[in-house]
Structure 1
């Protein structure tokens, strides 16, 4: 009984401790570390650890790009010879996924210094005491972000390992266990290599199978880490925008001296400007990643939809449905967080109008007009200069995907 009480006391103590900023970045860091990458400068990183991660990262990228090259050669040869058209179109979906993962990893690696500055700035803004975190509603924001993240990376891990382990499970169940069919060597992804892995030495086949599995997971880790890191930073921005709105609405102007009211307004403007600068930096860091997400998702939805409409084996159709579902989940999750950022930043102007400003002096009231005018241009995520991301973007993406699908279907019919 005493042990149970002690355990309960420890749990209560942990729940009462302030939530650090790293709790929001934990999932993204785990996936980046799995490929040996540090997206930003971490505290207390030893030289040995950095050197080990560096060589892990180099090995992962060499393997990933070698697999990508073999898939590209397969598609090129298939199109040139006019054979294996269906396999080539299926491979195009995988190739698009890998290219996007490659670009995301490379771009975030290039933006490491700027990303470190953003994390440090958010660390300075992050409430440290428990009573402060209650007013910021940190626990609820973290809980919501974790629910979305677990569903997001859980679905993608199921997808990638369904593809990766399908032929291994097929061999174990159908051939090794039931003895139903004779096993034919197959790889998760169609590729070309200058040796015959189907009838050659078995170690060549096993080596390629493991290499493709590692490459698939590395590509997925790079994609998931970039998306979850961006969503974590957006969640923190939304948290600060909502806190700023609540702080403005709770202010009663005209009670204290005009100087105090102006000091309050000055602090509000400075705080809001820091958040706007952070949003601009996040767009600079993740703009290319966002553009890759939406362009690749459009092509993936198109090619996967084409594969599903022309029929095929039931096992292939199940995996294609998973692939399509994950592409849609990715788009909707990013668009949802982008819409939350727009709504939270727009709420600043509404909070300025709603707070008790009637008894303030004329100078104070005139300055409120400028703040409201600035809030009418909400902060948003931008996929470089080409696209502002919101839920409306999803409808545009689906229309574009359908146009590509109709074109591809027409080409196949003729």
Structure 2
């Protein structure tokens, strides 16, 4: 999943200045060892990675750590090629929905034997599943982020609406906004925001696909999915957004929200930051508030999709032991806490103990409140095939929003999901 700039408001372009060099050959001319680490653009703050590598190199005489920054565009093909070479990068950042696909090919080192050294038992339970496959550990969770509701404080205050704590209060507030001003969208919610729908689906106890023997099958033609899409449809009725596009078409944060007349929307930290920048650039003043996506009751927030990354060691690394040592350090509680501090709480570290206290009223504060109910898509190598356009989940959502019976639309989607997810 692409997550460029996922950090919350105020986190700068974190990767600026990272050295993009090194050939992944595992050594230098004088015999000293070189460890090559691939990280994605927007993932590792410059100061954090420099301090980490300085300490690591001091503890491992003769070792130099080379950081190579990668772009998300085309990354899957580059990683696939790199993992098949004799001297691949030693440590690689992988999207959490991509990890299983690389693990099944044999490209990633099995880390099961060092689980204890990696602080496995204390990892965020929502991040952990993406790092495992068939009972074995192939990566360490690094960071994640989730969506929250972003609202215009002025509109909410004018109408007299308070941030809700459950779905009923949420709907009541949107109704109140709609009745008060016909020109204002109570919420901007495109018909195909399937990451938002995922949370509603998990709240109902459902999922996109379930295991069926040694195969997987789609699970949208179910009572759980029908309840989830019914709530999504109700929520989407308060929006003027298209029913056949997602949040990026048009980009809600920069192409829709800055034009005004949007009381609330659901987005990531980088989207909130983008909206603020666009509004201020146009001479306006952004005044956003944030709250977790409400749950069915006030006892806990609604479930959220965790978008994030893992760190893995290449099976063909020329020094897997050294690579594992760097991985242990980078994902340790000590360095994860420093990571959370460096990103101003805008990204969730892999353990709750490393989470910093976010600023009151910030996007990060709302995000952290929902971090305990984070989840990911089915962990199987074939899941990447499901997300390929045309995405059957998106098509299912549009059909239901336009009047198709949820069961019929679900059966059509399940056929495609089942076919794609079982492809190698």
Which bin holds the TM-score, normalised by the shorter protein?
A: under 0.3
TM-score with structure 1 setting the length: 0.28
Choose between structure 1 and 2: higher strand proportion.
2
Choose between structure 1 and 2: higher helix proportion.
1
Q: Which has the larger radius of gyration?
A: 1
Bigger relative contact order (CA 8 A; separation at least 6): 2
TM-score with structure 2 setting the length: 0.27
